[in-house]
């Protein structure tokens, strides 16, 4: 009997070792062949799990483990001209050159930028755009809720589709189930083309199920862009009409016209083809029409698995390291990786004014619990962190009053490394100032964050949560 028991144990150990070795081989091969760059904590977590629990971890890796969908080569990259001495003082010029090297669309002209002061203005602009469309409405969102706001927008889209306007609605495959599922069948019956971006149970994209489309934009007639942090749900606009009287979230969206909006329409086309055909369209850096002297210039910053580089993250690191005066940030979640945190803390230690605005309590409790390590580091370096009493969902970064980045990306590792995101980099000094002033006005009711020395168990909890930072 003892011999049988030992034999079974030996066979089990051998089988376990073989499966673990196979899992590690798949992990190493895919990481190198696909040029996958991971945070060290993520790499360690995958390796340890593959060794200890290969039976469960290997299927999970095949479903969730791949974060880039592009090819390993660089594609048609633009080589930026060497910076001239006169360019070295311009953060905007350096940002444009770095974006060009990463094959992002060239900076393009825009006009009639309208910053939406609050949800009511954002909704008014959205209604006006949908009503004014003559040819097409392309709408991409993470959440399309089945509430009063979502029902109204769905009715507007259905009416325009019945009137002969081409209407396409792209909703993330996971976000489609948040906020109660919208009646997409009725929209389709009215003529709206509906597509879900990588639905988790029906996608053929193995290994990419964990990659979510967080881009939010509406493009009308290929030349009018509405963009920002707002999902199509009541809390992002005018609040929830219920007994609790929950106030609307503080968020930033904007609309503009011109060549920059045309580039956003091209980005929607690429996302739509990917969602409907399951095929990756290699990103191309598109040339922008020559801007007239004095025209406002901006740049579309798409980031995510469809980009060879971590584009938004790279621009942040570069901008923080070369900043000279001020870094102004508004974000709902702040769970940076060590490099991004180091760039911010070094800027503060160099004498750069670093201001971070966040909600006292966001809608993601785990992210709130995980942020305190980074906030303590920042405040110790001399940065100022402020908490708003209500939910802030805006995503804004202003550097040296030369560059303002606004759009959909949070300053957490999921947004920076896993999600499909869309930011716009504004270079027009007047518009950069307007965006900075929007954040500054929200700072008035905010309270300064006062870090408390963490207990031993709080440090343990924060450390464990940071291992999961990619999922927060």
Q: What are phi and psi of 455, to 5 degrees?
A: -75, 170
Q: How wide is the angle at C-alpha 360 spanned by C-alphas 377 and 146, nearest 5°?
A: 125
Please tell me the predicted confidence (pLDDT) of residue 38: 56
Residue 139 phi/psi, 5-degree rounding, is -125, 125
CA gap 71, 281 in Å, rounded: 10
- Domain layout of the chain by residue ranges: 2-64, 112-277, 296-471
Q: Give residue 295's pLDDT.
A: 86
How far is 32 from 27, CA to CA, in rounded Å?
A: 9
- The 8 Å CB, 24+ separation contacts for 126-129 are 126/153, 126/218, 126/226, 127/156, 129/218, 129/220, 129/224, 129/226, 129/255
Instruction: Spell out a b/e string for 357-383, using b for 16 or more CB atoms within 10 Å of the CB, else e.
Output: bbbeebebeebbebbbbbbbbbbebeb
Tokens of 24: 């590690």
- CATH, domain 112-277, list 3.10.20.30, 1.20.59.10, 3.30.870.10, 3.20.20.140: 3.30.870.10
Other residues' Cβ atoms within 10 Å of the Cβ of residue 451: 14
- Structural tokens at position 77: 């990259």
Residue 80 has what pLDDT? 42
What pLDDT is recorded for position 71? 44
Residue 185's CB is within 10 A of a number of other CB atoms, namely 9
What whole-number distance in Å separates Cα of residue 132 and Cα of residue 468?
45
Name, in order, each residue with C-beta under 8 angstroms of 309's C-beta and a sequence gap of 6 or more.
102
Separation of alpha carbons 227 and 110, rounded Å:
14
Could you tell me the CA-to-CA distances from 14 to 11, 18, 31 in Å, in that order?
5, 6, 26
Token duo for residue 400: 């040296």
What per-residue confidence (pLDDT) applies to 7? 56
Query: What pLDDT is stored for residue 289 in this prediction?
Result: 58
Same fold, 112-277 and 296-471: yes
Res 143: pLDDT = 95
Count of beta carbons in the 10 Å neighbourhood of residue 282: 13
410, 332 contact by CB (below 8 A): yes
The reported pLDDT for the residue numbered 435 is 98
* Secondary structure (H, E, C), the chain: CHHHHHHHHHHHHHHHHHHHHHHHHHHHHHHHHCCCCCCHHHHHHHHHHHHHCHHHHHHHHHHHCCCCCCCCCCCCCCCCCCCCHHHHHCHHHHHHHHHHHCCCCCCEEEEEEEECCCHHHHHHHHHHHHHHCCCEEEEEECCEECCHHHHHHHHHHHHHHHCCCEEEEEEECCHHHCCCECCHHHHHHCCCEEEEECCCCCCCCCCCCCCCECCCEEEECCCEEEEECCCECHHHCCCCCCCCCCCCCECCEEEEECHHHHHHHHHHHHHHHHHHHCCCCCCCCCCCCCCCCCCEEEEEEEECCCCCCCHHHHHHHHHHHHCCCEEEEECCCEECCHHHHHHHHHHHHCCCEEEEEEECCCCCHHHHHHCHHHHHHHHHHCCEEEEECCCECCCEEEECCCEEEEECCCEEHHHHHCCEEEEEEECCHHHHHHHHHHHHHHHCCCEECCCCCCCHHHHHHHHHHHHCHHHC
pLDDT of residue 116: 97
Rounded CA-CA distance 102/339 in Å is 19
Which residues, 6 or more positions from 248, have their beta carbon under 8 angstroms from its beta carbon? 118, 119, 234, 235, 236, 237, 238, 239
* Superfamily classification of domain 296-471: Endonuclease Chain A (3.30.870.10)
Residue pair 331/353 in contact (Cβ under 8 Å)? The answer is no
Structural tokens at position 54: 């290969």
Q: What is the pLDDT along the chain (472 residues), one digit of tens a residue?
A: 555 555 545 554 576 666 666 666 665 565 545 555 555 556 656 555 656 666 566 665 555 555 555 544 344 444 444 444 444 458 999 999 999 999 999 999 999 999 999 999 999 999 999 999 999 999 999 999 999 999 999 999 999 999 999 999 999 988 888 877 788 999 999 999 999 998 876 655 554 566 789 999 999 999 999 999 999 999 999 876 544 567 899 999 999 999 999 999 999 999 999 999 855 444 454 555 556 667 899 999 999 989 999 999 999 999 999 999 999 999 999 999 999 999 999 999 999 999 999 999 999 888 898 899 999 999 999 999 999 999 999 999 999 999 999 999 999 988 999 899 999 999 999 999 999 999 999 999 999 999 888 777 777 766 666 665 555 5
């Amino acid at each position: 009997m003892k011999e049988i028991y030992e034999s079974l144990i030996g066979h089990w150990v051998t089988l376990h070792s073989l499966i673990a070795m196979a899992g590690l081989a798949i992990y190493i091969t895919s990481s190198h062949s696909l040029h996958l760059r991971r945070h060290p904590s993520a790499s360690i977590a995958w390796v340890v799990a593959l060794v200890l629990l290969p039976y469960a971890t290997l299927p999970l890796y095949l479903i969730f483990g791949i974060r880039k969908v592009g090819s390993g080569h660089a594609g048609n990259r633009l080589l930026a001209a060497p910076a001239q001495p006169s360019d070295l003082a311009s953060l905007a010029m350096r940002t444009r050159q770095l974006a060009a090297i990463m094959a992002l669309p060239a900076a393009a002209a825009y006009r009639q930028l309208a910053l939406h002061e609050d949800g009511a203005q954002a909704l008014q602009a959205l209604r006006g755009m949908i009503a004014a469309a003559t040819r097409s409405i392309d709408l991409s969102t993470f959440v399309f809720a089945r509430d009063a706001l979502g029902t109204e927008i769905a009715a507007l889209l259905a009416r325009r589709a019945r009137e002969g306007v081409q209407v396409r609605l792209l909703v993330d495959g996971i976000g489609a189930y948040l906020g109660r599922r919208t009646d997409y069948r009725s929209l389709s019956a009215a003529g709206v083309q509906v597509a879900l971006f990588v639905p988790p149970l029906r996608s053929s994209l193995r290994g990419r199920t964990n990659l979510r489309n967080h881009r939010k934009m509406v493009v009308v007639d290929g030349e009018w862009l509405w963009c920002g942090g707002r999902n199509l749900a009541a809390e992002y606009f005018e609040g929830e009409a219920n007994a609790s009287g929950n106030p609307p979230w503080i968020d930033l969206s904007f609309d503009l016209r011109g060549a920059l909006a045309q580039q956003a329409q091209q980005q929607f086309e690429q996302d739509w083809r990917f969602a409907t055909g399951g095929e990756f369209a290699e990103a191309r850096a598109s040339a922008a029409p020559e801007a007239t002297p004095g025209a406002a210039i901006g740049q579309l910053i798409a980031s995510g698995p469809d980009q060879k580089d971590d584009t938004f993250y790279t621009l942040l690191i570069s901008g923080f390291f070369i900043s000279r005066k001020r870094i102004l940030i508004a974000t709902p979640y702040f769970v940076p990786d060590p490099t991004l945190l180091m760039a911010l803390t070094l800027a503060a230690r160099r004498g750069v004014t670093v201001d971070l605005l966040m909600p006292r309590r966001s809608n993601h409790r785990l992210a709130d619990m995980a942020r305190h390590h980074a906030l303590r580091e920042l405040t110790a370096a001399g940065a100022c962190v402020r908490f708003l009493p209500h939910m802030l969902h805006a995503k804004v970064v202003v550097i040296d009053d030369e560059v303002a980045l606004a759009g959909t990306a949070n300053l957490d590792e999921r947004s920076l490394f896993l999600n499909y995101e869309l930011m716009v980099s504004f270079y027009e000094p007047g518009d950069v100032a307007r965006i900075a002033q929007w954040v500054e006005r929200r700072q008035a009711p905010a309270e300064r964050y006062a870090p408390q020395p963490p207990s031993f168990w709080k440090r343990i909890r924060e450390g464990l949560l940071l291992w999961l930072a990619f999922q927060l």
